[in-house]
């Protein structure tokens, strides 16, 4: 109890026209998603890139689901996947 985890979420934009830098700025201002530690853009195909978000959160049960759902509410985000959780 009282420990922290690093959770990585992969966000897929709806299309090529989504500005990933603007999306990063929106994410930085979101409440209740933990502390954003890093962003990584990964090429998918034909110019489309996904955005990975590394967050530091508490180890409470269900928190990653809440954060995933919060990311899904962002305009321009087609899908969100929790791709990793590491206890630190």
CATH architecture label of 4-87 = 2-Layer Sandwich (3.30)
For residue 2, pLDDT over 80 is answered with: no
Predicted confidence (pLDDT) per residue in 28-86, tens digit: 999 889 999 999 999 999 999 999 999 999 988 889 999 999 999 999 999 999 999 99
pLDDT at 1: 56
Contact 74, 23 (CB under 8 A): yes
Whether pTM > 0.75 for this model: the answer is: yes
Residue with tokens 């700025």: 25
Domain ranges of the chain: 4-87
Per-residue tokens: 76: 């321009």
């Amino acid at each position: 109890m009282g420990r922290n985890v690093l959770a990585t979420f992969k966000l897929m934009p709806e299309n090529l026209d989504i500005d990933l830098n603007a999306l990063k700025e929106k994410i930085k201002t979101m409440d209740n998603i933990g502390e954003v530690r890093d962003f990584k853009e990964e090429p998918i195909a034909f110019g489309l890139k996904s955005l990975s978000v590394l967050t530091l959160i508490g180890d409470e049960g269900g928190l990653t689901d809440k954060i995933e759902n919060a990311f899904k509410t962002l305009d321009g985000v087609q899908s969100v996947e929790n791709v990793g959780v590491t206890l630190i």
